[in-house]
Homo-oligomer: A and B are copies of this chain.
Amino acid sequence: MLNVPPKDNKTDPLVLFMPSGKRGRFPVGTPILDAARSLGVYVESVCGGRATCGRCQVSVQEGNFAKHKIVSSNDHISSVGPKEQRYASVRELPDGRRLSCSAQILGDLVIDVPQDTVINAQVVRKAASDRVIERNAAVQMCYVEVDEPDMHKPLGDLDRMKAVLEKDWGWKDLLIAPHLIPQVQGILRKGSWAVTAAIHRDMDSSRPFIVGLWPGLKNEAYGIACDIGSTTIAMHLVSLLSGRIVASSGASNPQIRFGEDLMSRVSYVMMNPDGREAMTKAVREAVNGLIGKVCAEGGIDRHDILDMVVVGNPIMHHLFLGIDPTELGQAPFALAVSGALQYWAHEIDIEVNRGARLYMLPCIAGHVGADAAGATLSEGPHRQDKMMLLVDVGTNAEIVLGNRERVVAASSPTGPAFEGAEISSGQRAAPGAIERVRIDPDTLEPRFRVIGVDKWSDEEGFAEAAAAVGVTGICGSAIIEVVAEMYLTGIISQDGVVDGGMAAKSPRIVPNGRTFSYLLHDGDQRITVTQNDIRAIQLAKAALYAGIKLLMEKQSVDHVDMIRFAGAFGSFIDPKYAMVLGLIPDCDLAEVKAVGNAAGTGALMALLNRGHRREIEETVRKIEKIETALESKFQEHFVNAMAMPNKVDAFPKLAEVVALPERKVLTDEGGEGGGRRRRRSRE
């Protein structure tokens, strides 16, 4: 592959590549592909400039390029030659597209390199701005024509193939996946000495590897990005050659049958001699099943999958790799392995191409896993000047705080309250679950929305529409909203006590033993928010906030510039209510965003661009890990964070947009009085 060095000669044509903005001058007649390569602009090519694969397509901009100060015209690029004509007649070449291996530079040009991978943050309310992943996949497909055997030079078939892969593509010191060695002979003959080799150039060995081999031109290669969550396994199937997301899907983690949450799965391993093996088998089977699903959806053969990137929390990470997670269930929460790992996918029993590789992102700490590393890679606190807080809330909240200078991370034991467990009317997000709540500050009457119903509860026709699904409980996002609304309307005090005095004002405030509850809905099921529910939410949010506060202290900052909520929980809650309850510190609400499955997005980035692998390995090495259990101030922060925020204390930005109540302290028993603070010892 020719690499033409950029010339200093000011009379040579100037070529600008978008979206990277890289530019250089090249002699008239230089193929655009060569120009791109010499500038480090990644343009795919499988056929090696034979104009048969069509992977090197670019768009040549026409019209007004005043902003680039370059004017392009048809005179500036070679006309469509016979090779391109042949390609266009056999396959599709959209208008304005050219094959960069054939089109030559004749004058100044602006070239658009198509980038098909766009991350759409999967949020409900706010569409995060689309981002493009620059492509530089670990696998490259290389078509070659191999010399036939020659008795005068009795090099083996494989050895001659390696030689031409070096000559045509520059691969030095090539190795080959052992399973291919007996196949080389037959594939070369089947392809009449023309073959396509899949070269993996991100092997941990650092030498490039032939991982796949096909007779003739093989113009496809796919990858899998997978996030193994405790509850859900999420997966993207992507073309490694175009970057296009072919299919995305999810499936339940079948380990749930061994235990709902992480700690119960660890217990299962401790109690059952075959427990680890059974759970490893279950999750690997689920991943295989999900691969089948996305492949069927995308209409591709699973044996065309050549690369995989997997993330997961430490316990999922260990179980997937067949490592006993018991140590993670008790101090010192020792990871068996923390660094990034590479495998042949078949070594983990993943059924894809026999030469496919599998890359596991590194774990940050015993409770801050490869999923947090994926989210970090996706959101990139380490790429920002601003101080970014990245939170992924589950049974443990994984918290990352930092900027270009320094990143710190910790986990907080929030418990399962945010997921609807420990809440009297809590349930999973499913049809029938209340997902939004508003309370009228004057009447204390609620209005709400139910998943599966298109109207608010006070809108006409709600009852009819709701009859189909029922109103069955409160999901995680609504729990945050209802408690926050109760606080904003004065139903609960800053210390979280339901004001029994309000019972006189509204029939919604109902006695419940020695405390009071709020009656949210009185239908087939009576849905109330009890004092205990509020306490559970307070404990969870105090744990989260205490962890964040600890990291802010480590960073010596008293505010954060941006907040990113990762994960399913973060996708559904309203950041405003999260802040009203004090889950997260005060911040400009415009800078608080839900980013969906950021862990999965990070996996996708590492799949499509091997540079991101080095980036996250380096970042994780540098992240300072804080173990909350060892920090004496964590307990203090935890206790202080039990109360709700007020505008005086620490939430001036929130106070600008939300009318926070004045300080009003009640006893647990519902009367006004000195606030009593609860402690929860951390087991």
By a beta-carbon cutoff of 8 Å, the part of chain A in contact with chain B is: 149-159, 162, 175, 178-179, 181-182, 184-186, 203-207, 321-324, 327, 331-339, 341, 343-344, 347, 363-366, 625, 627, 629-630
Contacts and interface: CB of A to CB of B under 8 A. Distances in A.
B333 A154 contact: yes
A335 B153 contact: no
A147 to B, nearest CB: 11
Contacts of A151: 331-333, 366, 627, 629-630
Contacts of A207: 204-206
A324 B186 contact: yes
B157 A334 contact: yes
Contacts of A204: 175, 205, 207
Contacts of A339: 156, 158-159, 162
B157 A321 contact: no
A321 B181 contact: yes
A152 to B, nearest CB: 7
**At the interface, is chain A mostly helix, strand, loop or mixed?**
loop
Contacts of A335: 154-157, 159
A621 to B, nearest CB: 10
A184 B336 contact: yes
A334 B155 CA distance: 8
Contact of A625 (B153, B178, B341, B363): B153
Contacts of A182: 321-324, 336
Nearest to A276: B182
A337 B175 contact: no
A471 to B, nearest CB: 45
B186 A155 contact: no
B159 A337 contact: yes
Contacts of A344: 178
Interface centre among A336, A338, A364, A627, by most chain B C-beta atoms within 10 angstroms, is: A336
Among A203, A321, A333, A341, chain B packs the most CB atoms within 10 A around the CB of: A341
A158 B629 contact: no
Given A155-B338, A156-B338, A332 B178 contact: no
Nearest to A363: B156
A625 B159 contact: no
A181 B336 contact: yes
Contacts of A181: 321-323, 336-337, 341
Given A205-B203, A206-B206, A207-B204, A154 B365 contact: yes
Looking at A154, A155, A344, which has the most chain B CB atoms within 10 Å of its CB?
A: A154
Contacts of A157: 334-337
Nearest to A280: B182
Given A203-B205, A206-B205, A627 B332 contact: no
Nearest to A360: B181
A458 to B, nearest CB: 50
Contacts of A159: 335, 337-339
Given A175-B205, A203-B205, A206-B206, A327 B185 contact: yes
A322 B332 CA distance: 48
Contacts of A327: 149, 185
Given A178-B343, A204-B175, A184 B627 contact: no
Given A181-B337, A203-B205, A324-B182, A630 B365 contact: no
A337 to B, nearest CB: 4
A159 B620 CA distance: 13
Given A149-B332, A182-B322, A154 B627 contact: yes
Contacts of A162: 339
Please list the 10 inter-chain residue pairs (A to B) with the smallest Cβ-Cβ separation, ordered nearest first: A205-B205, A156-B338, A149-B334, A154-B365, A156-B335, A156-B337, A185-B336, A158-B337, A151-B627, A149-B332
A386 B479 CA distance: 91
A151 B630 CA distance: 8
Contacts of A203: 205
Nearest to A338: B156
Nearest to A347: B178
B158 A336 contact: yes
Nearest to A325: B185
A206 to B, nearest CB: 6
A317 to B, nearest CB: 10
A9 to B, nearest CB: 40
B366 A185 contact: no
Given A158-B337, A181-B323, A203-B205, 12 more contacts: A151-B627, A151-B629, A154-B365, A154-B627, A155-B338, A158-B339, A178-B343, A182-B324, A184-B337, A185-B323, A185-B327, A205-B207
A630 B175 contact: no
Name which of A186, A335, A339, A630 has the most chain B CB atoms within 10 A of its CB. Answer: A335
Nearest to A189: B327
Contacts of A205: 175, 203-207
